[in-house]
């Protein structure tokens, strides 16, 4: 039977903050070196940045870019990455067992941001091995106009104007035992509050993100958020969330329903934030920075023998299939469905390490399968408003998430009144008929596009160095708008088996 929902502009979730389409650049593997930055590459500009990669980032539509980590930041000395290159130290990066040359640092990152008109920086401070003094010094270096020893170091490095970085993360995944300088919620809450308070003395316009849970599976999930927020509620603007999904033990049906877990996680964090607000009798609604999310086959790295120390090793270079991209598109749908509380989200990461963009040293750059749902969703949802979608759908059994809906969907309306539906069919074998009643949308007259990411023959198909254009969006025929211009307007579509879909109505 068909899946159905009703769209009515009178019922909306809320506007989409453009920062929902953020990403993440960490000193990890080849994300930076031979990814973003490769002096000597035929496509490198005078600053050593790969213009082929920059063009793909622009096409992707990325907004806020988080830097420099991730796990890396928790032992990072930001001073190592600024000033004359010949004086920058080589160091051990304990988080990723790599040699960090520090050739690329804050100034180089801001140089990249300057080449991406849609992007803004989001910096993380080290609250693992360091604390309040280093956090405020970094902020002074970045945002103070000049005339002090620290801010004049930036000026001497050639950046006269302050960077005016608005978004700051107070550490990274501090709840995780794997994090260097890991803390309990009480210790971290106090430290984050002290750092937030001092940082605002330098720049009162900054927005601050406190660390939430690293995954929903953490034993401390829930109590971590409530304890941290008890210390920081009035001092921070966002609490972070991180989530990664992968297919385990061949259980593709559960993997396809990963967004069920993601939505439950979001709703749990919202409930916890609101509980703290209620306890404090606060009218402030805490927002979420979902600053790491993706499909990541992290279990493949568990139990591997220690690698030799190396510069820019090939790490986390997951190759994404059509199936991965369908799940990925579904995670984007989950984010949009909660746009009332999620202000920022960062796809982790941007280049080479669990990334939508891949490169070969000295060679080409190409789009992974996940590139397509991100680019399309960013293009049509950025700045639009999310409409309420209550899906009536046939279900299927999953081992991890119980009965899951075959259809996962959301819809947005832009300022010109155009409506875009994003929908996933989780059925691996059968196409799914979709009927959408359009109420109060008499101005819509036609289907401008129905395209899908799907593959009849091979759900494991991927784009690779050898075959970089194997997978792309393809048009879907037969989508119709019945009784347009009337109160009975109705969209009919057929979603291909195991597919992510975009349907645009104008
Ligand atoms: O994105 C990869 C890693 O995942 C990040 O460094 C860390 O924050 C998370 O565990």
Q: Look up the CATH number of the domain holding residue 414.
A: 2.60.40.1180
Contact 65, 121 (CB under 8 A): yes
Atom of ligand 1 nearest to the CA of 69: 6
Rounded distance from Cα 214 to ligand 1 centre (Å): 9
Residue 301: pLDDT band with limits 50, 70, 90:
confident
* 314 and 244 share one domain: yes
Residue 306: pLDDT band with limits 50, 70, 90:
confident
Closest CA to 361 of 29, 23, 25: 29
* 137 and 260 share one domain: yes
* 371 and 403 share one domain: no
Q: Is 349 in the pocket of ligand 1 (CB under 6 A)?
A: yes
Residue 62: pLDDT band with limits 50, 70, 90:
very high
Q: Which residue, of 366, 382, 398, is where some domain finishes?
A: 382
* Helical segments of 220-281, H only: 223-232, 252-256, 258-280
* 189 and 324 share one domain: yes
Q: Is 172 in the pocket of ligand 1 (CB under 6 A)?
A: yes
Q: CA dist 48 to 44, 218, 335, 466, Å? A: 5, 40, 34, 25
Atom of ligand 1 nearest to the CA of 354: 1
Rounded distance from Cα 387 to ligand 1 centre (Å): 32
* 354 and 253 share one domain: yes
Domains of the chain: total: 2
Q: CA dist 471 to 30, 320, 323, Å? A: 23, 10, 11
- pLDDT confidence of residue 489: 96
* 85 and 126 share one domain: yes
Structural domain including 290 reads 17-382
Contacts of residue 444, defined as CB under 8 A and 6 or more positions apart, other chains included, come to: 417, 418, 419, 438, 481, 484, 489, 505, 506
Closest CA to 374 of 261, 450, 467, 453: 453
* 443 and 304 share one domain: no
Rounded distance from Cα 494 to ligand 1 centre (Å): 37
The question of ipTM being above 0.85 is answered as yes
- pLDDT confidence of residue 302: 76
Measured in degrees and rounded to the nearest 5, phi and psi for residue 488 equal -100, 20
Contacts of residue 408, defined as CB under 8 A and 6 or more positions apart, other chains included, come to: 259, 330, 333, 334, 391, 423, 424, 426
Contact 334, 216 (CB under 8 A): no
* 208 and 260 share one domain: yes
* pLDDT (tens digit per residue) in 264-275: 999 999 999 999
Identify the residue whose C-alpha is closest to ligand 1 atom 9. 70
Query: What gap in Å lies between CA 81 and CA 349, rounded to an integer?
Result: 20
**Best mutation site among 94, 218, 292 for ligand 1 pocket (most ligand atoms within 8 Å of CB):** 292
CATH code of the domain containing 67: 3.20.20.80
Q: Which residue, of 347, 382, 417, is where some domain finishes?
A: 382
Atom of ligand 1 nearest to the CA of 178: 10
Rounded distance from Cα 50 to ligand 1 centre (Å): 24
Identify the residue whose C-alpha is closest to ligand 1 atom 6. 70
- pLDDT confidence of residue 217: 96
* pLDDT (tens digit per residue) in 208-243: 999 999 999 999 999 999 999 999 999 999 999 999
* 162 and 240 share one domain: yes
* 292 and 198 share one domain: yes
SS3 state of residue 122: strand
* pLDDT (tens digit per residue) in 312-353: 999 999 999 999 999 999 999 999 999 999 999 999 999 999
Q: Is 128 in the pocket of ligand 1 (CB under 6 A)?
A: no
**Best mutation site among 30, 173, 217 for ligand 1 pocket (most ligand atoms within 8 Å of CB):** 173
* 374 and 397 share one domain: no
Identify the residue whose C-alpha is closest to ligand 1 atom 3. 70
* 95 and 226 share one domain: yes
Cα 406 to the chain's mean position, in Å? 24
Q: What is the mean pLDDT of the chain?
A: 97
Query: What gap in Å lies between CA 27 and CA 101, rounded to an integer?
Result: 10
């Amino acid at each position: 039977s068909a899946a159905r929902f009703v769209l009515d502009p009178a019922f909306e979730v809320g506007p989409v903050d453009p920062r929902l389409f953020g990403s993440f650049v960490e000193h990890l593997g080849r994300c930076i070196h031979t990814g973003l930055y490769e002096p000597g590459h035929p496509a490198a500009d005078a600053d050593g940045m790969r213009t082929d990669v920059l063009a793909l980032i622009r096409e992707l539509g990325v907004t806020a870019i988080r830097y420099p980590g991730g796990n890396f930041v928790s032992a990072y000395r930001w001073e190592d990455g600024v000033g004359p290159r010949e004086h920058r130290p080589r160091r051990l990066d304990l988080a990723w067992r790599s040699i960090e040359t520090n050739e690329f640092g804050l100034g180089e990152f801001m140089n990249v941001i300057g080449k991406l008109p849609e992007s803004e920086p989001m910096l993380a401070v080290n609250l693992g091995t360091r604390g309040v003094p280093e956090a405020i010094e970094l902020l002074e270096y970045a945002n103070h106009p000049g005339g002090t020893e620290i801010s004049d170091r930036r000026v001497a490095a050639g950046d006269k104007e302050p960077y005016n970085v608005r978004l700051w993360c107070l550490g990274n995944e501090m709840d995780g035992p794997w994090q260097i300088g890991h803390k309990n919620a009480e210790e971290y809450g106090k430290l984050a509050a002290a750092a937030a308070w001092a940082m605002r003395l330098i720049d009162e316009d900054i927005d601050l993100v406190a660390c939430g849970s690293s995954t929903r599976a953490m034993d401390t999930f829930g109590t971590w958020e409530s304890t941290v927020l008890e210390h920081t509620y009035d001092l921070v603007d966002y609490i972070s969330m991180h989530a990664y999904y992968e297919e385990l033990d061949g259980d593709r049906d559960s993997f396809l329903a990963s967004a069920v877990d993601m939505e439950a996680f979001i709703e749990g964090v919202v409930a916890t934030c609101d509980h703290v607000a209620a306890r404090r009798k606060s009218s402030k609604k805490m927002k979420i920075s979902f600053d790491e999310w993706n499909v990541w086959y992290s279990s493949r790295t568990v139990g591997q023998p220690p690698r030799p120390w190396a510069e820019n090793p090939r790490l986390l270079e997951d190759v994404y299939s059509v199936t991965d991209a369908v799940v990925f598109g579904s995670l984007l749908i989950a984010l949009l469905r909660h746009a009332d509380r999620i202000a920022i989200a960062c796809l982790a990461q941007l280049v080479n390490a669990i990334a939508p963009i891949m490169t070969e040293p000295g060679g080409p750059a190409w789009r992974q399968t996940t590139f397509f749902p991100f680019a399309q969703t960013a293009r049509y949802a950025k700045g639009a408003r999310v409409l309420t979608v209550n899906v009536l759908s046939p279900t299927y059994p999953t081992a991890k998430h119980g009965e899951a809906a075959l259809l996962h969907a959301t819809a947005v309306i832009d300022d010109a009144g155009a409506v875009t539906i994003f929908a996933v069919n989780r059925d691996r074998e059968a196409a799914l008929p979709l009927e959408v009643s359009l109420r109060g949308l008499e101005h819509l007259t036609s289907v401008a596009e129905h395209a899908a990411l799907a593959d009849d023959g091979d759900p494991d198909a991927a784009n690779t160095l050898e075959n970089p254009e194997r997978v792309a969006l393809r048009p879907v025929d037969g989508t119709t708008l019945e009784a347009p211009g009337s109160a009975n307007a109705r969209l009919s579509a057929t979603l291909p088996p195991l597919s992510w879909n975009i349907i645009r109505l104008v």
